[in-house]
Structure 1
Amino acid sequence: MSAKRTAALLIHGLGGTPFDLGSMNRILKRAGIDTHSLTLPGHGGTPEDLVDVSAEEWLHAVRARYREVMRQYDVVHVIGMCMGSLLALALCANERHERGKLVTLAPPIFIDGWATPWYTFARHLLYWVPLVPQRMRVEEDEPFGIKNALMRSIVKAKFERGDNFHYRWVPLACLRQVDRLRRMAMRAVSTLRCDTLVLHAREDELTSLRSAWFLRERIERMELVVLENSYHLICVDNDRELVAKSVLDFLGLAADGAAAPDSEVRDLARRHPDGMAGQRVEAVLPLCASGVVR
């Protein structure tokens, strides 16, 4: 009997790129899984492109890519990060996904993390003020979802240079669509048919463990891994190796060769001190995203 063809569909977060998932793409490929992804509507350009994008457009794009991949493979695992995990939850529920597993990374069912301002609830009022949702900017700021000081400094440097790896801000109108998507995911999760893994950091500054508890109470076949040394971007933070191992174990894959040794980044830093000081970090960032920076 021939082996089943297996793939993974990776879904990035709001304002993001595949960087959101760190080295997950490479790790899965090394484990023998074909990987597929997409750029969500309104992404890959400028933040202004998000103003008129709806939650339905994101869902439609993800569904189209999912069905395309499903036609090519026997087994398809769906992996989403942040908003991508909300899309993954809704997708797998609506499509009655059973030919593969679901992995949700830091799912923001609730926006209630420790760095969330007390006045965040006011956004629901501002949504109804003419022109405000389109014109108001919600800035990305410290700690940028990252507890690891070196990784955070690299991300900050790239933001300051204007590198297009992640939007520095999103329009308030976009958050309204995220809130709609959160409600869609909440309603959908109880109908999930596939095995589900939830990874969530205890110190997530955007969304508390309340989100993970919500999912655990409603998803019948679910595993939960609580991370103790990361903020929101768990795929590139201190617990990234545990994230990779947990995902591979859940999918029944070998972890051999999945992570590069820590010595690589130490050698790189010694060889390129001027590059770090001058914020020329292109050579360092791939290793950071591959899980070798402590």
Structure 2
Amino acid sequence: MAPSIPDPGTDVTAPLTIPARPELTGGRRIGVLLSHGFTGSPASMRPWGEHLGALGYGVAVPLLPGHGTTWRELNTRRWSDWYAALTRAFEALRAEHDAVVVGGLSMGGALVLRLAADRPDEVAGVMLVNPAIATRRLDVRLLPVLKHVVASFPAIANDIKKPGVDERGYDRTPLKAIHSLLQAWPSLRSDLARITAPLIYFRSAEDHVVDDSSEPLVLDGVSSTDVTRVALPESFHVATLDHDAPLIFEQSSAFVARVTGVA
């Protein structure tokens, strides 16, 4: 199934909420929480969420604090803000569903990994698309100093191979905010072993935002015995809007059904 084309009047950067339809999922109410990435917006996750919603799953794609406004606003926000917002969305889904699967793109992948590590008995499954928990970039080492001298770097948004697609992200990368993300990585990597939920890992063949250093850390770091890697040969970083999006939709749909026991 190809990504849907939103109605012209739809604000694709707004949060997405789709109620569960248990009549389509064997009588069980299954929730899916999806998180967009740093400087991005729910627009990058909307087609994926709508696909899962059409299958009867209750879907939530929150707008993370500092996103959907300006990059300067994002520069006032930190990892704790984004994680708190995602936690609230997860708790709301857990209160109304029999099981909840979480998924994230890039920084969103790091956020849902943190959630799965903190709540191993509550997360039914983890879906990752080019998650970021490490980097080899040399300029990152200078962020503690640069963030006080320079407010932003060039944009990391819209790394998409498919022509004419826009994830509706910022045109600059705020340094204080991204440094906060990097500061959260060490403790997350240390806690990956607490993750026991089934995990599916989607990885683009060519990614100009997140290098391949995160992949072995995740795949070798989690304690889950149910781990699947899916290659995305025709996509760049924002694969949820790229050529391989239908593959993500198909594989994730089967994954959610399997790990939640939906017939």
Shorter-chain TM-score bucket reads 0.7 to 0.9
SS in 1 for 2:173: strand
SS in 2 for 1:103: strand
Matched letter for residue 229 of structure 1: E
Partner of 2:247: 242
Matched letter for residue 237 of structure 1: D
Q: Could you tell me how far apart the structure 1 residues matched to 2:142 and 2:172 are?
A: 20
Please report how far the alpha carbon of residue 192 of structure 1 lies from its aligned counterpart in structure 2 after TM superposition: 0.5
Instruction: Assess if the C-alpha contact under 8 Å between 2:152 and 2:173 holds in 1.
Output: yes
Greater CA drift, 66-75 or 123-132: 123-132
SS in 2 for 1:25: helix
SS in 1 for 2:31: strand
Instruction: Assess if the C-alpha contact under 8 Å between 2:130 and 2:203 holds in 1.
Output: yes
Using the aligned pairs only, state the percent identity. 22
Match of 1:175 among 178, 193, 208: 178
For the pair 1:206 / 2:206, whether they are aligned, the reply is no
Instruction: Assess if the C-alpha contact under 8 Å between 2:156 and 2:173 holds in 1.
Output: no
SS in 2 for 1:128: helix
Greater CA drift, 99-108 or 209-218: 209-218
Match of 2:151 among 128, 133, 136: 136
Match of 1:146 among 160, 179, 196: 160
Q: Could you list the per-position Cα deviations for residues 245-268 of structure 1 after superposition, in whole angstroms to 9, with x for gaps in the alignment? A: 111121127xxxxxxxxxxxxxxx
For the pair 1:230 / 2:235, whether they are aligned, the reply is yes
Q: Within 5 A, what are the aligned runs for 1:1-294?
A: 3-112=27-136, 120-128=137-145, 131-132=148-149, 135-140=150-155, 144-148=158-162, 150-151=163-164, 154-155=165-166, 165-219=168-222, 220=224, 221-252=226-257
Q: Could you tell me how far apart the structure 2 residues matched to 1:200 and 1:49 are?
A: 30
Please report how far the alpha carbon of residue 36 of structure 1 lies from its aligned counterpart in structure 2 after TM superposition: 1.1
Instruction: Assess if the C-alpha contact under 8 Å between 1:76 and 1:99 holds in 2.
Output: yes
Of Structure 1 and Structure 2, the greater helix share is in 1
SS in 2 for 1:3: coil
The alpha-carbon distance between structure 1 residues 204 and 97, as it changes in their structure 2 partners (threshold 3 A), is farther
Instruction: Assess if the C-alpha contact under 8 Å between 2:147 and 2:176 holds in 1.
Output: no
Please report how far the alpha carbon of residue 11 of structure 1 lies from its aligned counterpart in structure 2 after TM superposition: 0.9
Q: Could you tell me how far apart the structure 1 residues matched to 2:87 and 2:127 are?
A: 16
Please report how far the alpha carbon of residue 146 of structure 1 lies from its aligned counterpart in structure 2 after TM superposition: 0.9
Q: Could you tell me how far apart the structure 2 residues matched to 1:166 and 1:193 are?
A: 32
Please report how far the alpha carbon of residue 66 of structure 1 lies from its aligned counterpart in structure 2 after TM superposition: 1.0
Q: Could you tell me how far apart the structure 1 residues matched to 2:244 and 2:181 are?
A: 26
Q: Could you list the per-position Cα deviations for residues 34-84 of structure 1 after superposition, in whole angstroms to 9, with x for gaps in the alignment? A: 111211111121111122212112111211221121111111111111101
Q: Could you tell me how far apart the structure 2 residues matched to 1:201 and 1:95 are?
A: 28
The alpha-carbon distance between structure 1 residues 127 and 244, as it changes in their structure 2 partners (threshold 3 A), is same
Q: Could you tell me how far apart the structure 2 residues matched to 1:49 and 1:129 are?
A: 18
Structure with max Cα Rg: 1
Across the aligned residues of Structure 1 and Structure 2, the Cα RMSD in angstroms comes to 2.1
Segments of 5+ residues of structure 1 without an aligned counterpart are: 113-119, 159-164, 254-294
Q: Could you tell me how far apart the structure 1 residues matched to 2:121 and 2:48 are?
A: 21
- TM-score normalised according to structure 1 size: 0.73
Segments of 5+ residues of structure 2 without an aligned counterpart are: 1-25, 259-263
Aligned residue pairs total: 231
